[in-house]
Protein backbone atom coordinates (compact mmCIF):
# COMPACT_ATOMS: atom_id res chain seq x y z
CA UNK A 1 0.00 0.00 0.00
CA UNK A 2 1.12 3.56 -0.44
CA UNK A 3 2.82 5.18 2.52
CA UNK A 4 2.79 8.96 2.33
CA UNK A 5 5.24 10.22 4.92
CA UNK A 6 5.19 13.49 3.04
CA UNK A 7 2.59 14.64 0.54
CA UNK A 8 3.11 13.58 -3.04
CA UNK A 9 4.29 17.03 -4.17
CA UNK A 10 4.87 17.64 -7.81
CA UNK A 11 3.59 14.25 -8.95
CA UNK A 12 0.77 15.46 -11.13
CA UNK A 13 0.84 16.00 -14.84
CA UNK A 14 1.31 13.86 -17.86
CA UNK A 15 4.27 11.92 -19.05
CA UNK A 16 4.92 8.82 -20.95
CA UNK A 17 7.30 5.93 -21.37
CA UNK A 18 9.70 5.18 -23.69
CA UNK A 19 10.15 4.34 -27.28
CA UNK A 20 13.74 3.34 -26.63
CA UNK A 21 14.92 1.50 -23.54
CA UNK A 22 18.46 1.34 -22.26
CA UNK A 23 19.87 -0.45 -19.28
CA UNK A 24 22.68 0.68 -17.02
CA UNK A 25 23.80 -1.89 -14.46
CA UNK A 26 27.08 -3.43 -13.39
CA UNK A 27 27.47 -4.43 -17.04
CA UNK A 28 27.60 -2.10 -20.08
CA UNK A 29 24.43 -0.52 -21.42
CA UNK A 30 22.14 -2.88 -23.34
CA UNK A 31 19.75 -1.69 -26.04
CA UNK A 32 16.38 -3.30 -25.43
CA UNK A 33 14.77 -2.18 -28.68
CA UNK A 34 11.92 0.13 -29.58
CA UNK A 35 8.94 0.62 -27.29
CA UNK A 36 5.71 2.31 -28.40
CA UNK A 37 5.68 6.04 -27.56
CA UNK A 38 3.77 6.92 -24.42
CA UNK A 39 1.64 9.88 -23.53
CA UNK A 40 3.47 13.03 -22.58
CA UNK A 41 6.88 14.56 -22.44
CA UNK A 42 7.77 15.32 -18.83
CA UNK A 43 10.54 13.41 -17.06
CA UNK A 44 10.66 11.57 -13.77
CA UNK A 45 12.63 8.95 -11.85
CA UNK A 46 11.52 6.41 -9.29
CA UNK A 47 13.42 3.84 -7.25
CA UNK A 48 12.66 0.16 -6.66
CA UNK A 49 14.16 -1.88 -3.83
CA UNK A 50 13.49 -5.49 -2.91
CA UNK A 51 14.46 -8.41 -0.70
CA UNK A 52 15.82 -6.50 2.28
CA UNK A 53 15.09 -9.50 4.55
CA UNK A 54 15.33 -7.43 7.71
CA UNK A 55 15.83 -9.59 10.80
CA UNK A 56 17.15 -7.22 13.48
CA UNK A 57 18.60 -3.74 13.97
CA UNK A 58 21.95 -4.74 12.51
CA UNK A 59 20.41 -6.08 9.30
CA UNK A 60 18.40 -2.86 8.88
CA UNK A 61 21.65 -0.90 8.45
CA UNK A 62 21.89 -1.56 4.69
CA UNK A 63 18.31 -0.32 4.29
CA UNK A 64 19.29 2.90 6.05
CA UNK A 65 22.23 3.24 3.65
CA UNK A 66 19.89 2.76 0.68
CA UNK A 67 17.43 5.32 2.06
CA UNK A 68 20.20 7.90 2.42
CA UNK A 69 21.34 7.19 -1.13
CA UNK A 70 17.80 7.59 -2.50
CA UNK A 71 17.26 10.80 -0.53
CA UNK A 72 20.48 12.21 -1.95
CA UNK A 73 19.20 11.72 -5.50
CA UNK A 74 16.92 14.68 -6.15
CA UNK A 75 15.55 13.06 -9.30
CA UNK A 76 13.75 10.30 -7.37
CA UNK A 77 10.06 11.15 -6.93
CA UNK A 78 8.97 8.02 -5.07
CA UNK A 79 10.12 4.52 -4.14
CA UNK A 80 8.48 1.12 -4.54
CA UNK A 81 9.39 -1.80 -2.25
CA UNK A 82 8.97 -5.12 -4.01
CA UNK A 83 8.56 -7.56 -1.16
CA UNK A 84 10.53 -9.79 1.19
CA UNK A 85 10.92 -6.81 3.44
CA UNK A 86 11.24 -9.09 6.48
CA UNK A 87 12.84 -12.47 7.15
CA UNK A 88 10.04 -14.42 8.84
CA UNK A 89 7.04 -12.12 8.56
CA UNK A 90 7.17 -11.11 12.21
CA UNK A 91 5.83 -7.69 13.11
CA UNK A 92 9.09 -6.72 14.82
CA UNK A 93 11.01 -7.32 11.58
CA UNK A 94 8.48 -5.49 9.42
CA UNK A 95 8.37 -2.57 11.83
CA UNK A 96 12.17 -2.26 11.88
CA UNK A 97 12.08 -2.01 8.10
CA UNK A 98 9.24 0.51 8.25
CA UNK A 99 11.23 2.72 10.62
CA UNK A 100 14.04 2.75 8.04
CA UNK A 101 11.77 3.41 5.05
CA UNK A 102 9.92 6.14 6.94
CA UNK A 103 13.13 8.18 6.65
CA UNK A 104 12.57 8.51 2.89
CA UNK A 105 11.96 12.13 1.96
CA UNK A 106 9.47 11.20 -0.77
CA UNK A 107 6.50 8.78 -0.66
CA UNK A 108 6.94 5.04 -0.85
CA UNK A 109 4.69 2.13 -1.77
CA UNK A 110 5.12 -1.54 -0.84
CA UNK A 111 3.91 -4.98 -1.86
CA UNK A 112 4.49 -8.14 0.21
CA UNK A 113 6.76 -11.06 -0.54
CA UNK A 114 6.57 -14.62 0.70
CA UNK A 115 8.88 -13.74 3.63
CA UNK A 116 6.41 -11.07 4.74
CA UNK A 117 3.71 -13.68 5.31
CA UNK A 118 3.27 -15.01 8.86
CA UNK A 119 1.75 -18.46 8.53
CA UNK A 120 1.03 -19.11 12.26
CA UNK A 121 -1.52 -16.27 12.29
CA UNK A 122 -5.16 -16.53 11.22
CA UNK A 123 -4.61 -13.50 9.00
CA UNK A 124 -1.28 -14.34 7.40
CA UNK A 125 -0.94 -10.76 6.16
CA UNK A 126 -1.89 -9.29 9.54
CA UNK A 127 1.63 -8.24 10.52
CA UNK A 128 2.24 -6.81 7.07
CA UNK A 129 -1.02 -4.83 7.20
CA UNK A 130 -0.09 -3.35 10.58
CA UNK A 131 3.23 -2.11 9.22
CA UNK A 132 2.54 -1.29 5.56
CA UNK A 133 -1.22 -1.42 4.98
CA UNK A 134 -3.11 -3.25 2.24
CA UNK A 135 -1.10 -5.82 0.26
CA UNK A 136 -2.34 -4.42 -3.07
CA UNK A 137 -3.00 -0.90 -4.32
CA UNK A 138 -3.12 1.45 -7.29
CA UNK A 139 -1.60 4.89 -7.72
CA UNK A 140 -2.27 7.34 -10.54
CA UNK A 141 0.55 9.81 -11.00
CA UNK A 142 2.20 11.72 -13.85
CA UNK A 143 -0.10 10.16 -16.42
CA UNK A 144 0.78 6.61 -15.32
CA UNK A 145 -1.15 3.91 -13.53
CA UNK A 146 1.00 2.01 -11.03
CA UNK A 147 -0.47 -1.30 -9.86
CA UNK A 148 0.91 -2.99 -6.76
CA UNK A 149 -0.06 -6.66 -7.02
CA UNK A 150 -0.02 -9.17 -4.17
CA UNK A 151 1.63 -12.13 -5.91
CA UNK A 152 1.94 -14.28 -2.77
CA UNK A 153 0.49 -17.76 -2.44
CA UNK A 154 0.86 -18.26 1.31
CA UNK A 155 4.63 -18.37 1.95
CA UNK A 156 5.49 -20.39 -1.16
CA UNK A 157 8.46 -19.48 -3.31
CA UNK A 158 6.94 -20.71 -6.60
CA UNK A 159 3.48 -19.22 -6.79
CA UNK A 160 0.17 -19.12 -8.58
CA UNK A 161 -1.39 -15.69 -8.11
CA UNK A 162 -4.68 -16.36 -6.36
CA UNK A 163 -8.18 -16.00 -7.90
CA UNK A 164 -9.23 -13.23 -5.50
CA UNK A 165 -6.22 -11.18 -6.57
CA UNK A 166 -6.98 -11.77 -10.25
CA UNK A 167 -10.57 -10.63 -9.64
CA UNK A 168 -9.27 -7.43 -8.01
CA UNK A 169 -6.86 -6.84 -10.90
CA UNK A 170 -9.66 -7.35 -13.41
CA UNK A 171 -11.73 -4.66 -11.70
CA UNK A 172 -8.76 -2.27 -11.70
CA UNK A 173 -8.21 -2.78 -15.43
CA UNK A 174 -11.92 -2.48 -16.13
CA UNK A 175 -11.79 1.08 -14.80
CA UNK A 176 -8.44 2.01 -16.36
CA UNK A 177 -7.89 4.30 -19.35
CA UNK A 178 -6.60 1.94 -22.03
CA UNK A 179 -4.14 4.50 -23.36
CA UNK A 180 -2.55 5.22 -19.98
CA UNK A 181 0.92 3.68 -19.51
CA UNK A 182 0.87 1.02 -16.78
CA UNK A 183 3.59 -0.27 -14.47
CA UNK A 184 2.86 -3.60 -12.76
CA UNK A 185 4.80 -4.10 -9.53
CA UNK A 186 4.97 -7.43 -7.70
CA UNK A 187 7.35 -9.56 -5.68
CA UNK A 188 7.50 -12.65 -7.89
CA UNK A 189 8.96 -12.40 -11.42
CA UNK A 190 6.96 -12.27 -14.64
CA UNK A 191 10.05 -12.06 -16.89
CA UNK A 192 9.56 -14.49 -19.80
CA UNK A 193 13.20 -15.60 -19.51
CA UNK A 194 13.78 -15.32 -15.78
CA UNK A 195 16.30 -17.84 -14.50
CA UNK A 196 13.90 -18.96 -11.74
CA UNK A 197 10.63 -18.39 -9.89
CA UNK A 198 8.42 -17.14 -12.72
CA UNK A 199 4.79 -16.78 -11.61
CA UNK A 200 3.00 -19.94 -12.74
CA UNK A 201 0.06 -18.08 -14.25
CA UNK A 202 2.16 -15.16 -15.53
CA UNK A 203 0.94 -15.56 -19.10
CA UNK A 204 -2.70 -15.49 -17.99
CA UNK A 205 -2.09 -12.31 -16.00
CA UNK A 206 -0.16 -10.59 -18.79
CA UNK A 207 -2.99 -11.45 -21.19
CA UNK A 208 -5.30 -9.38 -19.00
CA UNK A 209 -3.33 -6.34 -20.21
CA UNK A 210 -3.73 -7.16 -23.90
CA UNK A 211 -5.98 -4.16 -24.54
CA UNK A 212 -4.02 -1.88 -22.20
CA UNK A 213 -0.75 0.02 -22.44
CA UNK A 214 1.43 -2.12 -20.17
CA UNK A 215 4.99 -0.80 -20.28
CA UNK A 216 6.83 -2.12 -17.23
CA UNK A 217 6.72 -5.17 -14.96
CA UNK A 218 9.16 -4.89 -12.05
CA UNK A 219 9.71 -7.63 -9.48
CA UNK A 220 12.10 -9.01 -6.89
CA UNK A 221 12.36 -12.53 -5.40
CA UNK A 222 15.09 -13.62 -7.79
CA UNK A 223 18.10 -11.94 -6.18
CA UNK A 224 19.80 -10.85 -9.36
CA UNK A 225 19.73 -8.19 -12.05
CA UNK A 226 17.65 -9.37 -14.99
CA UNK A 227 16.36 -6.95 -17.62
CA UNK A 228 14.58 -7.88 -20.83
CA UNK A 229 12.12 -6.39 -23.28
CA UNK A 230 9.36 -8.60 -24.62
CA UNK A 231 6.57 -7.44 -26.94
CA UNK A 232 7.06 -3.82 -25.93
CA UNK A 233 7.13 -4.48 -22.17
CA UNK A 234 10.21 -4.02 -20.00
CA UNK A 235 10.66 -6.76 -17.36
CA UNK A 236 13.11 -6.50 -14.47
CA UNK A 237 14.28 -8.21 -11.33
CA UNK A 238 16.93 -6.68 -9.09
CA UNK A 239 19.68 -7.88 -6.76
CA UNK A 240 18.70 -8.01 -3.12
CA UNK A 241 19.46 -5.18 -0.70
CA UNK A 242 20.24 -7.36 2.29
CA UNK A 243 23.05 -8.49 4.56
CA UNK A 244 21.15 -11.62 5.64
CA UNK A 245 20.83 -13.07 2.11
CA UNK A 246 23.06 -13.51 -0.93
CA UNK A 247 22.22 -12.96 -4.58
CA UNK A 248 20.97 -16.00 -6.50
CA UNK A 249 23.19 -15.11 -9.47
CA UNK A 250 26.28 -15.17 -7.20
CA UNK A 251 27.10 -11.50 -7.81
CA UNK A 252 28.36 -9.64 -4.73
CA UNK A 253 26.74 -6.24 -5.35
CA UNK A 254 23.66 -5.35 -3.30
CA UNK A 255 21.49 -2.34 -4.07
CA UNK A 256 18.37 -0.94 -5.69
CA UNK A 257 17.13 0.01 -9.15
CA UNK A 258 16.30 3.39 -10.64
CA UNK A 259 13.86 3.86 -13.49
CA UNK A 260 14.40 7.08 -15.46
CA UNK A 261 11.73 8.27 -17.86
CA UNK A 262 13.16 10.96 -20.13
CA UNK A 263 11.04 12.02 -23.06
CA UNK A 264 10.80 8.86 -25.13
CA UNK A 265 13.64 7.00 -23.43
CA UNK A 266 13.44 4.64 -20.47
CA UNK A 267 16.73 3.93 -18.74
CA UNK A 268 17.04 1.58 -15.80
CA UNK A 269 20.09 1.80 -13.58
CA UNK A 270 21.29 -0.48 -10.80
CA UNK A 271 22.75 1.44 -7.85
CA UNK A 272 25.16 -0.40 -5.55
CA UNK A 273 24.70 0.09 -1.80
CA UNK A 274 27.63 -0.61 0.50
CA UNK A 275 26.70 -2.82 3.46
Q: What is the pLDDT of residues 173-199, one digit of tens each?
A: 999 999 999 999 999 999 999 999 999
pLDDT for 274 = 87
CB burial string 40-70: b at 16+ within 10 A, e below? beeebbbbbbbbbbbbeeebbebbebbbebb
Number of domains in the chain: 1
> Is the confidence at residue 28, as pLDDT, over 60?
no
Q: What is the pLDDT of residues 86-143, one digit of tens each?
A: 999 999 999 999 999 999 999 999 999 999 999 999 999 999 999 999 999 999 988 8
Domain range spanning residue 224? 2-272
Bridge partners (DSSP) listed for residue 182: 145, 214
The mean per-residue pLDDT over the stretch 9-31 comes to 35
Residue 167 binned pLDDT confidence (cut-offs 50, 70, 90): very high
Torsion sign, CA atoms 89, 93, 97, 99: positive
Model confidence, pTM: 0.86
pLDDT for 42 = 67
Residue 267 binned pLDDT confidence (cut-offs 50, 70, 90): confident
pLDDT for 209 = 98
CATH of the domain at 200: 3.60.21.10
Q: What is the pLDDT of residues 53-82, one digit of tens each?
A: 999 999 999 999 999 999 999 999 999 999
Q: What is the pLDDT of residues 209-262, one digit of tens each?
A: 999 999 999 999 999 999 999 998 999 999 999 999 999 999 999 999 999 977
Q: Pick the closest to residue 240 from 226, 228, 222 (CA basis).
A: 222
Amino acid sequence: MKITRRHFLGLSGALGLASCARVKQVTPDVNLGRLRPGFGSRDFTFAAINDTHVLDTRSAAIVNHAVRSINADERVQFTVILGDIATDGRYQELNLAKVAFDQLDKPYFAVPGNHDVYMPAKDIFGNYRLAFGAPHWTENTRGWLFIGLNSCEEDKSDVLVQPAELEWLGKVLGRANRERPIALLAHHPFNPNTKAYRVKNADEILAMFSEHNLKLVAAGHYHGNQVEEHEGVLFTTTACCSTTRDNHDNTPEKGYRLFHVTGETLETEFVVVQS
